[in-house]
Amino acid sequence: MTGSDANQAIEAVWRMEAARVIAGLARMVHDVGLAEELAQDALVIALERWPETGIPPNPGGWLMSTAKHRAVDLVRRRAVYERKLQEIGRSLDEAAEPDLDATLDDHIGDDVLRLIFTVCHPVLSTEARVALALRLLGGLATDEIARAFLIPEPTVAQRIVRAKRTLATRGVPFELPAPAELAERLSSVLDVLYLIFNEGYSATAGDDWTRPDLCYEALRLGRVLAGLMPREPEVHGLVALMEIQASRLRARHGPAGEPVLLQDQDRRRWDRLLIRRGLVALERAEEAGGRFGPYALQAAIAACHARAPSTADTDWERVAALYTVLGHVAPSPVVELNRAVAVGMALGPGDGLTIVDALISQGGLEGYPHLAAVRGDLLAKLGRSGEARQEFEQAASLTRNASERTLFLGRAAQLSASP
Amino acid sequence: MRYIILLKGAQPSTPPPHALMEAIMKLGEEATKAGALLDTAGLAPSAAGARIELAAGNVTVTDGPFTESKELISYALYDVRSKDEAVEWGARFIRIHRDHWAGWEGTADVLKVMGPEDFAPPS
Q: What is the pLDDT of residues B42-51, one digit of tens each?
A: 999 899 999 9
CA B77 to chain A, closest CA, distance in angstroms equals: 11
**What CATH number is given to the structural domain containing A166?**
1.10.10.10
Q: Domain for residue A328, yes or no? A: no
Q: Which of A143, A171, A199 is the last residue of a domain?
A: A171
Q: Which amino acid is at B117?
A: E
Q: What is the pLDDT of residues B25-78, one digit of tens each?
A: 999 999 999 999 999 999 998 999 999 999 999 999 999 888 777 889 999 999
Taking the C-alpha atoms of residue A90 and residue A212, their distance in angstroms, rounded to an integer, is 44
Q: Domain for residue A223, yes or no? A: yes
Check pLDDT > 80 for residue A2: no
For residues A319-346, average pLDDT: 96
High-pLDDT (> 90) share of chain A, %: 64
Burial profile A121-143: b = 16 or more Cβ within 10 angstroms, e = fewer:
beebeeebbbbbbbbbbbbbbbe
Is the CB of residue A285 less than 8 Å from the CB of residue A236?
yes
For residues A153-182, average pLDDT: 94
Check pLDDT > 60 for residue A347: yes
Q: What is the pLDDT of residues A41-82, one digit of tens each?
A: 999 999 999 989 888 888 888 999 999 888 877 767 765 555
Q: Are residues A257 and B84, on separate chains, in Cβ contact within 8 Å? A: no
Banded pLDDT at A336 (limits 50, 70, 90): very high
State ipTM: 0.86
Q: Which domains does chain B have, with CATH numbers?
A: 2-116 (3.30.70.1060)
Q: Are residues A201 and A248 in the same domain?
A: yes
Check pLDDT > 60 for residue B18: yes
Check pLDDT > 80 for residue A415: yes
Q: Domain for residue A330, yes or no? A: no
A351 touches chain B (CB under 8 A): no
Q: Are residues A209 and A127 in the same domain?
A: no
pLDDT at position A98: 38
Q: Are residues A102 and A137 in the same domain?
A: no
A51 touches chain B (CB under 8 A): no
Q: Are residues B32 and A227, on separate chains, in Cβ contact within 8 Å? A: yes
pLDDT at position A100: 42
Check pLDDT > 70 for residue A170: yes
Q: What is the pLDDT of residues A239-290, one digit of tens each?
A: 999 999 999 988 888 887 777 889 889 999 999 999 999 999 999 999 998 8
Q: Domain for residue A178, yes or no? A: no
Residues of A in contact with B82 (CB under 8 A): 8, 12, 15
Beta bridge partners of B59: B54
Q: Domain for residue A166, yes or no? A: yes
Q: Are residues A270 and A227 in the same domain?
A: yes
A227 touches chain B (CB under 8 A): yes
High-pLDDT (> 70) share of chain A, %: 89
Taking the C-alpha atoms of residue A151 and residue A145, their distance in angstroms, rounded to an integer, is 8
Is the CB of residue A262 less than 8 Å from the CB of residue A277?
no
Give the three-class secondary structure for B26.
helix
Q: What is the 8-class DSSP label of residue B16?
A: P
Q: Are residues B121 and A13, on separate chains, in Cβ contact within 8 Å? A: no
Q: Which of A107, A140, A155 is the last residue of a domain?
A: A107
Q: Are residues A290 and A225 in the same domain?
A: yes
Q: Domain for residue A317, yes or no? A: no
Banded pLDDT at A87 (limits 50, 70, 90): low
Banded pLDDT at A200 (limits 50, 70, 90): confident
Q: Are residues A212 and B116, on separate chains, in Cβ contact within 8 Å? A: yes
Q: Domain for residue A156, yes or no? A: yes
Q: Which residues contact A100 (CB under 8 A, 6 or more apart)?
A: A61, A65
Q: Which of A171, A197, A212 is the last residue of a domain?
A: A171
Q: Are residues A28 and A73 in the same domain?
A: yes
What domain count does chain A have? Answer: 4
pLDDT at position A33: 92
Q: Are residues A47 and A139 in the same domain?
A: no
Which residues in B have their CB inside 8 Å of a CB on A? 1, 32-36, 38-39, 77, 79, 81-82, 84-85, 87-88, 91, 95, 115-117, 119-121, 123
Is the CB of residue A274 less than 8 Å from the CB of residue A242?
no
**Mutation for testing the A interface, residue in B82, B84, B92, B100 having most A CBs under 10 Å:** B84
Quote the domain boundaries for residue A45.
Answer: 1-107
Q: Are residues A1 and A103 in the same domain?
A: yes
Q: Domain for residue A326, yes or no? A: no
